[in-house]
Amino acid sequence: MKVAFASDDGLTVNTHFGYAASFEVYEITTEKYEKLPKREVKLEEEESENSKIENRLHAVLDCTLLFINQIGPAAAARVTRNQIMPIKVDVNTSIQEQLERLLQMLQNKPPMWLAKAMQSVNEGESTPSSR
């Protein structure tokens, strides 16, 4: 599954979803995680609230988990409607530490929320995706 991190330094989760200029993206399996190309957000000079959400959502549409520091209610609703699980973490949380935690959870008995997220990824692979 793909996991996105709102980050402006590539090392920590340090950005609100609505202000993220880019997302660090990783592919994670039960064996390993691998860095994918950074996703840049198409920034507009004057963004409406709707286009602000849409531009960021477009950058992470194929991801299953989204690590952010904060997310507004409208954005959270749009993200979850697209079957992406937003996960709020403290400012400057290490991306690598989060990846290591996810890897350990996947290798052991994943918590219910992670098992559910993995199930939706697996179902998406066997049928045409609506994302």
Tokens for 80?
């979850």
Structural domain containing residue 36: 2-126
Determine the pLDDT at residue 51. 84
Beta pairing partners, 28: 33
Domain assignment present for 14: yes
For residue 131, is it within any domain? no
Residue 79 lies in a domain: yes
User: Is 9 inside any structural domain?
Assistant: yes
> Is 52 part of any domain?
yes
Is pLDDT of 125 > 60?
A: no
The average confidence (pLDDT) of the chain is 89
Q: Looking at the 3D structure of the chain, how many domains does it have?
A: 1
pLDDT in tens, 64-98: 999 999 999 999 999 999 999 999 999 999 999 99
* Residue 10, domain member (yes or no): yes
pLDDT for the residue numbered 124: 65
3-class SS at 39?
strand
The CATH number that applies at residue 85 is 3.30.420.130
Helix axes 73-81, 49-60, angle to 10 degrees: 40
